[in-house]
Structure 1
Amino acid sequence: MSDHDITGWERGEFTSAGITHDTYRKGSGPGVVVIHEIPGISPNVLRFADEVVERGFTVMMPDLMGTPGKAPSGPYIISSMVKLCVAREFTTFAMNKTSPVIAWLRALARNLHAEVGGPGVGAVGMCFSGGFALGMMVDEIMLAPVLSQPSLPASLGAARSGDLNLSPDDEAAVIQRAQDGCQVLGLRFTEDRAVGTRFDTLREKLGDAFIAIELPSNAKSDHSVLTEQRDDESVARVLDFFVEKLQP
């Protein structure tokens, strides 16, 4: 896929907890934070985000790495992975810890919600950011968390493979919110090793509040449910989930 013009998205900047990132915003209605995967805000991430806008939402996309609109390539993916591994914002390998960037994302979501209103906000993470929406559940305004192929910490060994990238306190808060009725939507290809056994952990911790969409893998490379190996029915299910939770 070729590069894509990001014209039409309003560029901004947001700072919280000592972290600053550019943001891209578009649309109107309740807020949804769309968090890109590696290597960055790709043309297919933009396509998905535009579809969220079209369903009646204000979408905020943080730019955590990469070049917005640039198509994935081997060297580009590698450079983004290097940044992911060295940046202190992401707990790439550590277990039982919440990535520092999640506090920044929570602040971004609160700021967006305060401005646009509505019953709450939604968020979707993908790949390295797949579990970030789960950490954002600590705040009661998060009503529609979506986890697409959550891949942190890196699935090296059985313990990391099932880890949710949450501190014990944050995990307890997420479990309580699930028990109080907040549902979590998860998506993955069944043979995606990057996801590890996190779906088993999510079922154990969240019970019936965890809604799993698990797709048969057609190739070993199948990973990105909503973008690069896009499944249209899954995209539709995510959009419906946002509508159900945020536009009652």
Structure 2
Amino acid sequence: MTESDTEQRLSRWQRTTVSDGTLAFECLERGDGPGVILLPEIPGIMPSTIALGDRLVAEGFTVVMPSLFGVPGRRPGAAGQVATVARLCVTAEFRAFSRDLRGPVTDFLRLVAVELAARTPGRGVGIVGMCFTGGFAIATAVTTDRIAATVVSQPAAPFPVTPSRARSVGVPGADLERYAAAHADGPACVVGLRFTRDLKSSRGRLVALQRHLGDTAVVVPIPSGRDARDGTPAGAHSVLTGDVREEPPNQAFAEREKIFEFLRERLAPVDVPAPPEG
């Protein structure tokens, strides 16, 4: 996607600043239908993020992309990406090293979810987190019943400075288990995704997610490197964006399509029976 293509795509999105009184971020919005919050990967809302957002719009969703870091549409060089990571490491609101990611950012995202749910059809909203924001998706979901579908893709936070943090998805196990108990009567409401040879997102995170959430979650390991039969390289990381190959179809492609269906099923508006005649 060229720079002019990116600018053209960005021009289709309505841009507003949203504040919860503590934090303020620019949010990009487009579409009609049930709401989905799409959280960016590091270093920000890149062309691949916009492409995924556009696809969600085409699938019938109202999409909100909070610009939590970086500049929308711009992919910085290596130095810029390092600077973004460094800022996230020292910024208290992101709690990048904590095994409990809930804090100022999840408070802000909860506000976005509640507001979006109030003005869109459906049984709540969906939230999709990827890489650094994967853990923030589930950390937000456990704080509000307005989120009916959660996607945790290649979660990379908390930063794995200790073995316990490498196994954490950003929510204490007891709180995940309470969340699972509250949703035990319905179908799975959380999907976790990760390439099997991804060194940036530890296997232990999704193992822990499955252990604590049980049938409330579906965890999908996608073969890569020597595990793959479709040529997916060992270095593949971004399941829903940069490492999805459109031609030929591959498992990442197939799993992305299943995510769209998961969101449709979980967020479909509840049919209201017509009042009896007479």
The alignment's TM-score, normalised by the length of structure 2, stands at 0.83
Contact 2:35 2:61 in 1 (8 A): yes
Tell me whether 1:163 sits opposite 2:177 in the alignment. no
Distance in 1 between residues matched to 2:64 and 2:237, nearest whole Å: 23
Q: Report the counterpart of residue 216 of structure 1 in structure 2.
A: 223
Q: 1:79 to 1:232 in 2, by over 3 A?
A: same
> Match of 2:191, as an amino acid?
L
The Cα RMSD (Å) is 1.8
Distance in 1 between residues matched to 2:267 and 2:259, nearest whole Å: 12
What is the Cα deviation at residue 98 of structure 1?
A: 1.9
What is the percent sequence identity of the aligned residues? 35
Runs of 4+ displaced beyond 6 Å: none
Among 181, 188, 191, the residue aligned to 1:185: 191
Contact 2:101 2:136 in 1 (8 A): no
Q: Report the counterpart of residue 14 of structure 1 in structure 2.
A: 18
Q: Report the counterpart of residue 121 of structure 1 in structure 2.
A: 125
Contact 2:173 2:212 in 1 (8 A): no
Q: 1:89 aligns to what SS in structure 2?
A: helix
Q: Report the counterpart of residue 62 of structure 1 in structure 2.
A: 66
> Match of 1:227, as an amino acid?
T
Q: Report the counterpart of residue 140 of structure 2 in structure 1.
A: 136
Q: 1:77 aligns to what SS in structure 2?
A: helix
Structure 1 stretch displaced more, 21-30 or 138-147:
138-147
Distance in 2 between residues matched to 1:36 and 1:243, nearest whole Å: 21
| Unmatched tracts of structure 1, length 5 or more | none
Tell me whether 1:53 sits opposite 2:57 in the alignment. yes
| Unmatched tracts of structure 2, length 5 or more | 226-232, 245-251, 270-278
Q: Report the counterpart of residue 246 of structure 1 in structure 2.
A: 267
Distance in 2 between residues matched to 1:169 and 1:210, nearest whole Å: 15
Structure possessing the higher radius of gyration over alpha carbons? 2
Distance in 2 between residues matched to 1:60 and 1:67, nearest whole Å: 16
Q: 1:194 aligns to what SS in structure 2?
A: coil
- How many residue pairs get aligned? The number is 248
Distance in 2 between residues matched to 1:215 and 1:86, nearest whole Å: 32
Contact 1:135 1:170 in 2 (8 A): no
Distance in 2 between residues matched to 1:94 and 1:25, nearest whole Å: 30
Distance in 2 between residues matched to 1:7 and 1:202, nearest whole Å: 37
Work out which structure has the larger RCO, using CA pairs closer than 8 Å and 6 or more positions apart in sequence. 1
Contact 1:98 1:166 in 2 (8 A): yes
Distance in 2 between residues matched to 1:188 and 1:152, nearest whole Å: 13
Q: 1:16 to 1:208 in 2, by over 3 A?
A: same
> Match of 1:14, as an amino acid?
V
Tell me whether 1:232 sits opposite 2:237 in the alignment. no
Compare the two structures and name the one with the higher strand fraction.
1
What is the Cα deviation at residue 72 of structure 1?
A: 5.1
Contact 1:121 1:144 in 2 (8 A): yes
> Match of 1:195, as an amino acid?
S
Q: 2:92 aligns to what SS in structure 1?
A: coil
Which digits, 9 at most, give the CA deviation of each residue in 1:39-62, with x for residues without a partner? 000001110111111111110000
> Match of 1:33, as an amino acid?
I
Distance in 1 between residues matched to 2:62 and 2:198, nearest whole Å: 31
Q: 2:75 aligns to what SS in structure 1?
A: coil
> Match of 2:157, as an amino acid?
L
Distance in 2 between residues matched to 1:20 and 1:149, nearest whole Å: 26
Distance in 1 between residues matched to 2:133 and 2:179, nearest whole Å: 17
